[in-house]
Amino acid sequence: MIVVGLIGEDPYDTNAIQNLLNKKYGTQVRFVSISKRFTGCQLDSDKFFRTLKIESKKCQIVVCIRDLDGFPSQTHLIHNRKKWLNNICKNVSCDSVLLLNIWELEAFILGDVDTFNQFYKIDLKYTGNPSTLREPKEWLKSKTQKLKGPYKESDCPDLFLSLNYNKVLDRCKFFSTFIADFEHKIKECA
């Protein structure tokens, strides 16, 4: 079985993505969280990179889940993420590193808003491109703030267990691009 290490800014993000990827790859890939005690801007620290070198030894592929906090047209943000990814590549013990670069995790949810509606017992409509909504987290929070149980980030792992993988793949271009690269790396490791 191929071991894929997941690095994320937040344990909720990492667990959510793992739950979504397990739907398709759970029989051929074992996902493990690495360097999980580091969150947010700690992922830029020297201590993180030293720990990463050790913890990535058990992995054949490392997937980095990082919020872009900007749009692809904001080249300075892309440059900063590429620089960070280059540091990751220099400090992991495997040859295959991928970046799942997202605006915010909530963009995935907008790829399958029907599941979100069932989860929160609401009737939201979203037909746009999930990767172009400027603040998907704030949008979801504003739409659910009057509910007995409004949207919160800690719900993501459970919510992602229910998301329709194919809907998310079809609606979220950033995810389909990542999956094409991911499948290529899996074939290389097999």
Q: How many CB atoms lie within 10 A of CB 7?
A: 27
| The pair of three-digit structure tokens given for residue 36, joined into one six-digit string | 């999980």
What are the CA-CA distances from residue 186 to residues 12, 29, 93, 136 (Å)?
24, 8, 17, 30
Q: Express each pLDDT in 86-135 by its tens digit.
A: 999 988 988 889 988 777 889 999 999 999 999 999 999 998 888 888 88
What is the per-residue pLDDT for 138? 92
What are the CA-CA distances from residue 179 to residues 4, 139, 165, 182, 185 (Å)?
14, 26, 11, 5, 10
Q: Count of residues for the chain?
A: 190
pTM score, whole prediction? 0.90
> Averaging pLDDT over each range in 34-48, 59-73, 134-148, 156-170, which range is the top one?
156-170
Q: Express each pLDDT in 46-97 by its tens digit.
A: 999 999 989 999 999 999 998 776 666 777 877 888 888 899 998 898 888 9
